[in-house]
Structure 1
Amino acid sequence: METKGVPLIDMQDPHGLAEKLVKACEEWGCFRLVNHGIPSTVLSEMKVVCRSLLDLPFKIKQGDSPPGPGQRYTPLNMASPYFEGLNIYDMASPGAVDDFCTQVHASPHQREIILKHSQALFELAKDLGGKMTEGLGLGGLEAFKDWPCQFQMNKYNYSPESVGSTGAVMHSDPGFITILQDDELVNGLEVVNKFTGDLVSVDPIPGTLVINIGDVGMVWSNGRFNNVKHRVQCYKATVRISIALFVLGPRGKGVEAASELVDSEHPRLYNPFDFEAYRKLRHSTNSPTGEALELFRAALPIDS
């Protein structure tokens, strides 16, 4: 296991912040964010809410949620015997959080915390997106503010027998960017160093957040950003909690590289594609680390 950690970026440091974010996205596709502006009380209260909701009876968690991207509950299964999750798909759409809270019988206090926490992550995602576009020389465009987001609460149920096992298999995230509140007490997240192929443990730091670039992020940046491969391992026999916001893909139009990042020296690497169709293709072709992107690889121009 390599000892050098992923980059640590201070969101309140104004000196070259946009450039530091882009460099971390290019070299790692992953970094830890400090001084992000979300109060520690909101983070700690959300962790309590997450644990309490995922401790609910199966019938309440499952409800009448249909299978697919919008399903509310992901139960323990053969592929992930230790992991379960609750999801709010397109959490920024009107009523999405309230509908979810009603379905799982959340208390008024739980509802307040979920709203406060998910909205804070959503605003942070827009801020990060603006800084990244600025760092790429695109003028800090609010390129991602209308993209659908998925808010997810995760619980890993580890026992003494599961120590050393994999809680979440190696994968890349399908969307653009993931903001992760990992468990400050229980380690387990490991990312792949793209230069060496080594697994690097992303050790928790209380009050911070982990940022991951996904497949859409790599396509949108025309290959500059790294869609980081990562997994979750069981280090000890206890419950591990994490909460994530996934910024997915553009609504109503194809995923493609920003035109400003395409020129004669940097030809377009991928043809445009629909995000939801791509997510289904990842599943149907068993492509957890983005292998299905090769199906959209653009033909390189022939030198004259």
Structure 2
Amino acid sequence: MTDETIPVIDIEKISEQFECKKLRDACEKWGCFRIINHSIPLTLMAEMRMVVEALHDLPMDIKKNNKDVISGRAMHDFCSQLNVTPHQRKIMETYGKAIHNVALKIGQKIAESIGILDADFEDWPCQYRINKYHFTSESIGSLGGSLHTDSGFLTILQDDENVGGLKVMDNSDSFVSVPPFHGTLLANLGDIAQVWSNGRFCNVKHHIQCKEATIRSIATFMLGPRKGNIETPKELMDLDHPRLYQPFTYEEYRTLRDSINKAGDKYLQTGEVFELLRLIQ
């Protein structure tokens, strides 16, 4: 265990040179950072947590109607399957729009921090997942999932404000605890961010350790472009930094990642999939 703490990025100051450098350093060294002053009202965040708690408390036969992440285009189906009330749906839609705007702004600022001024993430869809780890008192100290990286470009997490448990791996392969921080969001960079940046950004490895019997979180995943390929901007390549990965679509990546998953393990070692991505033509 190290005594380091992950960086904190102030969105209100993100256009300032010092904060922009902090963001770039966080992406390169950590692949994760806390977001403060993100403009999402604390009341909306609290209301969203209440909706999530109510959905998790639904009878199991109703919850089984939906087992996937929520894409922006599937909100109607999700609400119908779980008998969501009009008020709950309004909160989810309002929160979804707000967190999507934050994801777009963060993506743009990440690109600007390394000199990419014309990056456009408008066509990069987001998905939402509401998680609940069904720990018991006997499982305190155990892991809620294997050590893994996220598959997309950016994950923004509203974590449980009362229960910690998230641990990230730093660049010395030591685990660092990420304690709750009221009113903030947590950003993780995924595999697509490392590919897009030509290996400059860190796709942070992380997992959840049980601290109490129940942990909830609300995750937003910015994936990859809906149309076209994922490829490194020309500004990040030169004679000393040749292209590491051939262009590919996000769907190609997901198919490849799923196809080489280890038996009995939901996640895979990122290095294996990256070596195969180098071969995609």
TM-score with structure 1 setting the length: 0.85
Find the counterpart in structure 2 of residue 288 from structure 1.
Answer: 268
1:247-286 counterparts in 2 under 5 A? 247-286=222-261
Find the counterpart in structure 2 of residue 67 from structure 1.
Answer: none
Quick one: which of 94, 98, 102 aligns to 1:120? 98
Shift of 1:21: 1.4
Shift of 1:168: 2.0
List per-residue Cα deviations over 1:25-69 (Å, max 9, x = no partner).
Answer: 011000011111111111111111111112222332222xxxxxx
Structure 1 unaligned runs (5+)?
A: 64-71, 74-85, 300-304
Percentage of matched positions with identical amino acids: 46
List per-residue Cα deviations over 1:169-213 (Å, max 9, x = no partner).
Answer: 21000000000001110001000002x100000111010010000
Find the counterpart in structure 1 of residue 278 from structure 2.
Answer: 297
Shift of 1:142: 4.5
Cα distance in structure 2, aligned partners of 1:152 and 1:234? 19
TM-score with structure 2 setting the length: 0.92
1:85-234 counterparts in 2 under 5 A? 87-89=69-71, 91=72, 93=73, 96-139=74-117, 141-194=118-171, 196-234=172-210
Is residue 216 of structure 2 the alignment partner of residue 235 of structure 1?
A: no
CA contact under 8 A between 2:31 and 2:202: conserved in structure 1?
yes
Letter paired with 1:9: I
CA contact under 8 A between 2:7 and 2:22: conserved in structure 1?
no
Shift of 1:266: 1.0
List per-residue Cα deviations over 1:237-278 (Å, max 9, x = no partner).
Answer: x32110011000111222211122112121001112221221
Is residue 22 of structure 2 the alignment partner of residue 10 of structure 1?
A: no
Find the counterpart in structure 2 of residue 43 from structure 1.
Answer: 45
CA contact under 8 A between 1:214 and 1:227: conserved in structure 2?
yes
Runs of 4+ in 1 over 4 A off after TM superposition: none
Shift of 1:298: 6.3
Q: CA RMSD in A?
A: 1.6
Shift of 1:11: 1.1
Cα distance in structure 2, aligned partners of 1:270 and 1:142? 19
CA contact under 8 A between 1:268 and 1:298: conserved in structure 2?
no
Structure 2 SS opposite 1:276: helix
Letter paired with 2:77: D
CA contact under 8 A between 2:24 and 2:110: conserved in structure 1?
yes
Letter paired with 1:290: T
CA contact under 8 A between 1:51 and 1:155: conserved in structure 2?
no
CA 1:298/1:264 → structure 2, altered by over 3 Å: closer, same or farther? farther
CA contact under 8 A between 1:2 and 1:200: conserved in structure 2?
yes
Structure 2 SS opposite 1:144: coil
CA 1:289/1:202 → structure 2, altered by over 3 Å: closer, same or farther? farther
CA contact under 8 A between 1:176 and 1:248: conserved in structure 2?
yes
CA contact under 8 A between 2:198 and 2:245: conserved in structure 1?
yes
List per-residue Cα deviations over 1:141-177 (Å, max 9, x = no partner).
Answer: 3521111211110111221111111112210000000
CA contact under 8 A between 2:124 and 2:222: conserved in structure 1?
yes
More helix by share: 2
CA contact under 8 A between 1:38 and 1:120: conserved in structure 2?
yes
- Larger mean Cα displacement after TM superposition, 25-34 or 126-135: 126-135
Aligned pair count reads: 272
